[in-house]
Structure 1
């Protein structure tokens, strides 16, 4: 009996692609990685411009189609007692009688000239509101995202390497339960337990009434909202990391490493995590809208003086002078975060070859 070798059915291009995909990511020079990352960020920047324009158009179009009358919000309790001439004066002063496209065009002109408008809900210039509240939102959101990412990567790696064990079953079950729990429920539970029940932490705000902002006060008041936002971000990141570790542990590369005597932390750190962390980074870019929405809910529950709380207040009160820049800014933040996460993935493994 003779044994015949199967003919090579791959084309030369497919053979090259297979060799590239099987090569070590570390063999790609840093300069090549840098060029790919810069090219990716440049393309994302070009795509961001029309996206931001469309988002801003959508905000003004939806505002114009809203059944609510912004005049009632501008006048407040004086709406019923205001005369027709007073209502007309307020309407002209805020440009409420014009077409929404003209208001959108004027808004962009004011933004480029450095005048973002006046917030009726905050009774302050929009620029001052953003400058004062932005550090609160960025600080809490970035800390929550960092904590959630670290916890998800560590716990996901441990549970994935011990698939089917007690730790895996417990963590997977808790993550599935938390994934189905809205952020406001998590926030209310934390307030009920740690603020009302135990009295360990304050329930709302970022400082005691009448006190100035201090580092200690911000830390004490920020523990619960940061914890609530962190908990709401962990489940999907953890489950994604666990699934990626399970797949990586069953791959031929990891089996070969085990055959060479590599195991334990060396196997996890050198062969499993570098491959498994890429899906988690990709998920971070797609879950950033959830971070923005979760921050808005958490800040509203805890009375945290951030931009997300101002976004909710401006939407409820039809304060479009503040709503428009906050909505556009949220879209820009999501686009930037998605681009940065993809750029990090390309830097870690240039074989990904993202084009857009």
Structure 2
């Protein structure tokens, strides 16, 4: 039954994916500006040359024709070529993908490692000082924008204390060591995790409090088991089930946060590539990144549903 459910989710994801590409392509073409704006800044460009470039890029065609031309290329595995660099879009994305993947995965791992224990700690004694402190801190973290946190961290750790680099992925010396990467990744990872930790702590606390009211928890307590043994052995697994869903739903916000974080720290990932493409009206690169993000989010949602069922065998995929 689980395999049937996975196949069903994949079949639902396919039209969703194409729907995302349609919306993204048409919204992109509604934005002011044109990929030819850079050429217009050249005083030596003639109207005839400008028109030839427009025809060569297919920009003289209606938007619907442009979309299906792009879609045909996509279905053959071709994301097209960048307007600005004339390089294959797939190559440009693959060059930047590892940096974003490392940053996003580290952020998710850090958020889980911090938020789950804090959520359990707050729920272990509700309406106490620790609970109020945890709730207040979580709200503050959720309400603080990534770019502001990034600037504060750069000022404190890179300028005042001078213990961490202010940006980049490696040192300018060219020594691309693992230790150098970890040192450069600390601040971006902390900033990208900041809001996630605040939200996930609250979800973990709420989920744990709800589970602690169930009958089987009362039974475990009546057998004389200690509070922390009841929490870790009986309550934690079921409390993690809704948190897994929240983590899966947070993937788009993590990707969105990576765009801002990568700009603040000069991290050479997909986010900075996307911003550069948007500024240059580089439609093929924008659509290529959109396709990659959409596919990653849909796959993450499917994996989240599968993990949800593994954590709670009572769930039936009927």
* CA distance, structure 1, for counterparts of residue 299 and residue 115 of structure 2: 22
Q: Which residue of structure 2 aligns with residue 191 of structure 1?
A: 154
Asked if 1:304 is matched to 2:267, the reply is yes
Q: Which residue of structure 2 aligns with residue 89 of structure 1?
A: 52
* CA distance, structure 1, for counterparts of residue 205 and residue 77 of structure 2: 47
What is the alpha-carbon root mean square deviation over aligned residues? 1.7
Asked if 1:68 is matched to 2:33, the reply is yes
Asked if 1:136 is matched to 2:99, the reply is yes
Q: Is the 8 A contact 2:278 2:286 kept in 1?
A: yes
**Structure 2 residue corresponding to 1:55, chosen from 20, 26, 44:** 20
Q: State the TM-score, normalizing by the size of structure 2.
A: 0.94
What secondary structure does 2:36 align onto? helix
What secondary structure does 2:238 align onto? helix
* CA distance, structure 2, for counterparts of residue 190 and residue 345 of structure 1: 35
- CA displacement at 1:76 relative to structure 2: 6.6
- CA displacement at 1:110 relative to structure 2: 2.0
Asked if 1:44 is matched to 2:9, the reply is yes
**Structure 2 residue corresponding to 1:214, chosen from 177, 182, 191:** 177
Q: State the TM-score, normalizing by the size of structure 1.
A: 0.85
Q: Which residue of structure 1 aligns with residue 113 of structure 2?
A: 150
* CA distance, structure 1, for counterparts of residue 308 and residue 283 of structure 2: 37
* CA distance, structure 2, for counterparts of residue 201 and residue 131 of structure 1: 28
What secondary structure does 2:144 align onto? coil
1:223–1:76 CA distance, 2 compared to 1 (3 A): farther
Give deviations 1:132-184, integer Å, cap 9, x for gaps: 11111111101111111222111101110121222222111110111111111
Q: Is the 8 A contact 1:121 1:313 kept in 2?
A: no
**Structure 1 residue corresponding to 2:257, chosen from 264, 274, 294:** 294
Q: Which runs of 5+ in 1 are unaligned?
A: 1-34
Q: Which residue of structure 2 aligns with residue 258 of structure 1?
A: 221
What secondary structure does 1:267 align onto? helix
Asked if 1:226 is matched to 2:180, the reply is no
Q: Which residue of structure 1 aligns with residue 74 of structure 2?
A: 111
* CA distance, structure 2, for counterparts of residue 213 and residue 82 of structure 1: 43
* CA distance, structure 1, for counterparts of residue 106 and residue 273 of structure 2: 20
Give deviations 1:71-129, integer Å, cap 9, x for gaps: 103x2742x43111111121122111111222221212223334322223555321211
* CA distance, structure 2, for counterparts of residue 263 and residue 273 of structure 1: 14
* CA distance, structure 1, for counterparts of residue 125 and residue 76 of structure 2: 58
* CA distance, structure 1, for counterparts of residue 34 and residue 44 of structure 2: 16
- CA displacement at 1:266 relative to structure 2: 1.6
1:286–1:189 CA distance, 2 compared to 1 (3 A): same
